[in-house]
């Protein structure tokens, strides 16, 4: 990844702004996400007021809807994945989580919006230093809640364990909900495995991870939609190549190898959007199958 603020993070933020003007989108988008994103982009200097107006114009909405042919469903999918992550974070807090850790946060506003609502929960964000610096400027201008901490680190270079060890308010025993939204495809496989392995060491059995991932094509490369090769090539040109993908049918084995088990999504909730798959994992290996077909439980 180049040492420049992430362009894909900006793309997601523009997408969310435009989607928030689409009739009916407020039925599933998290409340207040459009306004908070606009404020963050302007106060961080990532976008001008004029650009915000463009993002909220009808013609940009039409353009995005046309461009959706490149990654079918992804325009609405970005909003669905925001809704998925927020629902899972709220669900985990209701179930006892006292720490929220958002990895590769970009211009996401979940922590900033939820921190005042849950003053007893500690919120942490980690992003690559080039993007984290811009985000920190914006959050400072908007007012950083005391229970929100922004951490600048390259997760492809430095192990999560080391990053969190140096964060004084991080409590490794607290029940935690971690979010990796639109991040894992940018990390090399060893870094992804390391991340899951280390997260599995935190916070007791209640600790959860909500994440999104892309599938793998028959040629072994990430599946970026019907124009996959062109899309992957353009991501390389942007300096943000996709490096990791996983066939959805391999997910259970992958999680189990790394100390996690999949948690079923609530009934009726989308399990993907556009070209991405959404998943929730909880610490602990899945119940082992025994010959009788009766499952035995493991911690
Ligand atoms: C597509 S953006 C998604 C941003 C945000 N999660 C969202 O969905 O709005 C990918 C994010 O991952 C971050 N990222 C990519 N590689 C990273 C790395 N090696 N270490 C930390 N963050 C990284 C980028 O800086 C960027 O903010």
Q: Which residues of 149-160 are buried (b: 16+ CB within 10 A; e: fewer)?
A: bbbbbbbeeeeb
Ligand 1 proximity of 127 Cβ (cutoff 6 Å): yes
Phi, psi (rounded to 5 degrees) for 219: -80, 5
Ligand 1 proximity of 155 Cβ (cutoff 6 Å): yes
Q: Which of 20, 34, 128, 240 to mutate to test the pocket of ligand 1 (most atoms within 8 A of CB)?
A: 128
Query: Would residue 145 count as lying in a domain?
Result: yes
- Residues 244, 162: Cα–Cα separation, whole Å: 22
46 CB-contact burial (10 Å; exposed 0-12 / middle 13-18 / buried 19+): buried
Number of domains in the chain: 1
- Residues 28, 43: Cα–Cα separation, whole Å: 26
pLDDT tens for the chain, 299 residues long, are 568 999 999 999 999 999 999 999 999 999 999 999 999 999 999 999 999 999 999 999 999 999 888 889 999 999 999 999 999 999 999 999 999 999 999 999 999 999 999 999 999 999 999 999 999 999 999 999 999 999 999 998 999 999 999 898 999 999 999 999 999 999 999 999 999 999 998 877 789 999 999 999 999 999 999 999 999 999 999 999 999 999 999 999 999 999 999 999 888 888 999 999 999 999 886 655 444 333 333 33
Query: Would residue 296 count as lying in a domain?
Result: no
| pLDDT at 204 (0 to 100) | 74
Query: Would residue 96 count as lying in a domain?
Result: yes
Query: Would residue 294 count as lying in a domain?
Result: no
Ligand 1 proximity of 150 Cβ (cutoff 6 Å): no
Ligand 1 proximity of 36 Cβ (cutoff 6 Å): no
Query: Would residue 297 count as lying in a domain?
Result: no
| pLDDT at 203 (0 to 100) | 79
Pick the closest to residue 202 from 175, 227, 238, 228 (CA basis). Answer: 175
| pLDDT at 289 (0 to 100) | 46
For the question of whether the overall pTM of this predicted structure is more than 0.85, the answer is yes
- Residues 45, 293: Cα–Cα separation, whole Å: 58
216 DSSP 8-state letter: B
Query: Would residue 292 count as lying in a domain?
Result: no
Q: Which residues contact 295 (CB under 8 A, 6 or more apart)?
A: 287, 288, 289
Query: Would residue 253 count as lying in a domain?
Result: yes
- Strand 99-103 with 122-127, pairing: parallel
The alpha carbon of 87 and the centre of ligand 1 are apart by a number of angstroms equal to 20
Atom of ligand 1 nearest to the CA of 78: 8
Can you give the residue range of the structural domain that contains 230? Answer: 7-286
CATH code for position 41: 3.40.50.150
| Residue nearest atom 21 in ligand 1 by C-alpha distance | 128
Query: Would residue 293 count as lying in a domain?
Result: no
């Amino acid at each position: 990844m180049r040492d420049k603020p992430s362009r894909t993070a900006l793309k997601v933020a523009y997408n969310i702004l435009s989607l928030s003007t689409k009739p009916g989108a407020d039925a599933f988008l998290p409340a207040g996400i459009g306004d908070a994103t606009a404020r963050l982009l302007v106060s961080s200097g990532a976008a001008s007021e004029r650009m915000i107006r463009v993002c909220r114009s009808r013609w940009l909405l039409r353009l995005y809807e046309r461009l959706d042919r490149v990654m079918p469903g992804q325009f609405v999918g970005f909003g669905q994945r925001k809704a998925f992550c927020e629902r899972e974070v709220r669900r985990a807090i209701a179930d006892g989580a006292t720490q929220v850790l958002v990895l590769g946060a970009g211009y996401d506003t979940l922590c900033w919006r939820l921190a005042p609502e849950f003053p007893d929960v500690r919120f942490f964000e980690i992003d690559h230093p080039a993007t984290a610096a811009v985000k920190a400027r914006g959050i400072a201008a908007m007012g950083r809640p005391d229970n929100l901490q922004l951490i600048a680190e390259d997760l492809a270079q430095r192990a999560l364990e080391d990053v969190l060890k140096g964060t004084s308010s991080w409590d490794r025993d607290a029940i935690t909900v971690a979010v990796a939204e639109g991040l894992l495809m940018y990390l090399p496989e060893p870094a992804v495995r390391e991340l899951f392995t280390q997260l599995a060491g935190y916070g007791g059995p209640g600790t959860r991870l909500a994440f999104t991932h892309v599938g793998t094509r028959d040629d072994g490369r990430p599946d970026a939609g019907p124009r996959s090769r062109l899309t992957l090539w353009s991501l390389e040109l942007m300096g943000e190549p996709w490096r990791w993908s996983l066939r959805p049918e391999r997910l259970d084995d992958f999680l189990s190898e790394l100390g996690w088990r999949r948690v079923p999504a609530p009934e009726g909730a989308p399990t993907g959007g556009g070209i991405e798959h959404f998943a929730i994992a909880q610490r602990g290996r899945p119940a082992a199958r025994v010959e009788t077909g009766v499952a035995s439980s493991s911690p």
